Amino acid sequence: MGTVTDATREELIKLRSDETAPGLAQLAISLARAIDEAEAPTAKAAVARELRGVMADVRKLAPVEEEGDALDDLARRREARRRTG
């Protein structure tokens, strides 16, 4: 695989695109492979533009991940204590 294909696969895994947009994920891999295999700069640029668009769509469909901080953890523990006691 090429570097663009590898990077695209890694991002797709992080975005869990196999659950939300499997068709777009396959299209992204195909476009990434075309970038890695293209020799003409104009061809690379055209395919890269398409890949950016597809990846933007995949990112929009990705599930939102919860990122908690210490304050969120404290609030969760407080809520759990209220429920049990």
Contact present, 62 and 17 (Cβ < 8 Å)? yes
- SS3 call for 74: helix
Contact present, 25 and 62 (Cβ < 8 Å)? no
- Quote the CA–CA distance of 28 and 9 in Å, as a whole number: 9
Amino acid code (one letter) for 2: G
Kindly state the tokens that stand for 33.
Answer: 């492979």
Which tens digits make up the pLDDT trace of 13-46?
999 998 999 999 999 999 999 999 999 999 999 9
- SS3 call for 69: coil
Q: What is the pTM of this model?
A: 0.74
Contact present, 72 and 53 (Cβ < 8 Å)? no
For the chain, give every domain's residue range.
Answer: 3-84
pLDDT at 85 over 70: no
Which tens digits make up the pLDDT trace of 55-64?
999 999 998 7
